[in-house]
Amino acid sequence: MEILLFLGVVVASAVSGLAGHYQGDKVLRLIPETDQHLQFLRNVSHTRKVDIWQPHSIDLVTTDRSVDFRVGANWTSDVQAELEKIGLQYEILTENLQTLIENQFDRIRTRSFSYDYESYHNWDQIESWIATIANKNPNLISRVKIGQSYEGRDISLLRVGKRTGSPKPAIFMDCGIHAREWISPAFCQWFVKEAIRTYGTDSLLNCLLNELDFLVIPVLNVDGYVYSWTEDRLWRKTRSRNFNSACVGTDPNRNFNAQWCANGSSNNPCSDVYCGPFVESEKEVKAVATFIRNHSSIIKAYLTIHSYSQKLLFPYSYTYSLAYNHNELANLAQNAVLALQSLYGTQYTFGSGSNSLYLASGGSDDWAYDLGIKYSFTFELRDTGKYGFLLPESQIRPTCEETMLAINYIANYVLNHLY
């Protein structure tokens, strides 16, 4: 991490390029227990000595809830000494963040002409993959451009399912709302690949493709995704410029029309959970919300793929009140998680967002649910913090395989409970 000069103003976060950017930074985990502990975390966060990762903002940190945060290389001895002084125990999750960033690419690259679904791909590669896969599989896949990003990139959606002539019920799934959660776009690509691979066999997925369409957005926040490859691996938000602030971007998952900008969002453009200047201010959010509104009669489930923390969440996140079909959603989530776990034993927890994670308004899942899509889920894929957003490529395959089981379970349930 390059030294951010603290000039008495809030300095834009994440300023410089990738190379060596996080050299010597550490990631710590702790559970604050007292107001003094909270005050300490607020101080080091506001002076930018640390950057809160889990939850995503200092505003969401409370006592008795675990916090993961990055400490800049220049502040590690300071911060660790301070923690010892106030008697706050911590665990070192990562000794050197730069090493972790480099270790994401831990697979031996095989020279092959076919697309490698077990490595991370940049946007150029994904974009040409989208075009190619649609062109090569016209019987199963069609591509729709649903809009453009702030920086003018196309946002593509792949409609995956057997062409039947008449409209079919659909399951909507988006990946890459948050830029740094690279396993998410990797999963959407895996899903489409599996659809093509198993088409014509007697697998469950094949049956689903005959009866349903999957509407898949491989990368929604494309500008942020590009930025996470070129400038700052840990970028989360969009890349839109903010009026009257040097800080860039809005959290797309705080920008939907679901109790917008209330609990768990910030109206500070420098925050990682900034809700934006108004509802659907982000072109990416506007595009996906418009598409879903225009197809709300056929969309029977909404799935959104994030990382990390191994959770399956459903509405509500903006309130502690329970969804009207809470028991059904909890049951469905439990069975989906059991299916996922059956492959490699990966443990997931599940529940409403507010009760299992934190109160957070303006999220896509709550918005879709209130629009009338009664099966609405947020996946938080692997892991639980060892690698966090920097999940090594060697985990792409097992993560995608197990996640497929949960998605297939939900899709099959939805097919049997059409409404």
Residue 47 dihedral angles phi and psi, to the nearest 5°: -90, 5
Size of the site for ligand 0X9 (CB under 6 A): 15
Cα–Cα dist 342/28, whole Å = 31
Cα–Cα dist 178/55, whole Å = 14
Helix (H) or strand (E) holding 379: strand 375-381
- The first and second tokens of residue 411, run together, are 């899709």
Is residue 56 near Zn ion by the rule CB under 5 A? no
CA 412 to chain centre: 24
Which residue is listed with tokens 């969440």?
313
CB 242 → ligand 0X9: shortest distance, Å?
A: 19
**Residues paired with residue 7 on neighbouring β-strands, in sequence order:** none
Cα–Cα dist 142/138, whole Å = 6
CB 366 → ligand 0X9: shortest distance, Å?
A: 5
Cα–Cα dist 263/286, whole Å = 21
Stretch that binds ligand 0X9, among 8-16, 100-108, 328-336, 360-368 (CB under 6 A): 360-368
Cα–Cα dist 218/256, whole Å = 19
> Residue 278: which residues within 8 A CB-CB, separation 6 or more?
none
Contact 146, 157 (CB under 8 A): yes
Q: Residue 365 binds what, of ligand 0X9, Zn ion, none (CB under 5 to 8 Å, by partner type)? A: ligand 0X9
Is residue 272 near ligand 0X9 by the rule CB under 6 A? no
Cα–Cα dist 67/55, whole Å = 6
CB 80 → ligand 0X9: shortest distance, Å?
A: 25
CB 382 → ligand 0X9: shortest distance, Å?
A: 12
Q: Which is nearer to ligand 0X9, 26 or 254 (CB)?
A: 254
CB 261 → ligand 0X9: shortest distance, Å?
A: 13
Which residue is listed with tokens 């079919």?
168
Stretch that binds ligand 0X9, among 148-156, 214-222, 340-348, 356-364 (CB under 6 A): 356-364
Is residue 378 near ligand 0X9 by the rule CB under 6 A? yes
Stretch that binds ligand 0X9, among 86-94, 119-127, 214-222, 359-367 (CB under 6 A): 359-367
Q: Is the peptide bond before 320 cis (omega within 30 degrees of 0)?
A: no
Contact 63, 133 (CB under 8 A): no
Is residue 57 near ligand 0X9 by the rule CB under 6 A? no
Task: Report the phi/psi class of residue 71: left, alpha or beta, with left for phi > 0 and alpha for psi in -120 to 50.
Answer: beta
- Contact letters (x/-) for Zn ion, 177-216, by CB under 5 A? -x-----------------------x----x---------
Q: Which residue is nearest to Zn ion (CB)?
A: 306
Stretch that binds Zn ion, among 66-74, 165-173, 298-306, 329-337 (CB under 5 A): 298-306
Distance, first Cα to last Cα, the chain: 51
Q: Which is nearer to Zn ion, 239 or 306 (CB)?
A: 306
CB 236 → Zn ion: shortest distance, Å?
A: 7
CB 352 → ligand 0X9: shortest distance, Å?
A: 9
Q: Residue 64 binds what, of ligand 0X9, Zn ion, none (CB under 5 to 8 Å, by partner type)? A: none
User: Does residue 91 have an active-site annotation?
Assistant: no
Q: Would you state the torsion angle of the CA atoms of residues 356, 262, 218, 377, taken in this order, to the nearest 10 degrees?
A: 30
Is residue 366 near ligand 0X9 by the rule CB under 6 A? yes
Is residue 385 near ligand 0X9 by the rule CB under 6 A? no
Q: Which is nearer to Zn ion, 211 or 401 (CB)?
A: 211
Burial of 129 (C-beta count, 10 Å sphere; 0-12/13-18/19+): middle
Is residue 189 near ligand 0X9 by the rule CB under 6 A? no
**Binder to ligand 0X9 among 178, 237, 300, 374 (CB under 6 A)?**
178
Q: Which of 181, 280, 282, 380 is catalytic?
A: 380
Which residues are catalytically annotated? 380
- Residues near ligand 0X9 (CB under 6 A) are 56, 178, 181, 253, 306, 313, 317, 353, 357, 360, 363, 365-366, 378, 380
- Residues near Zn ion (CB under 5 A) are 178, 202, 207, 306
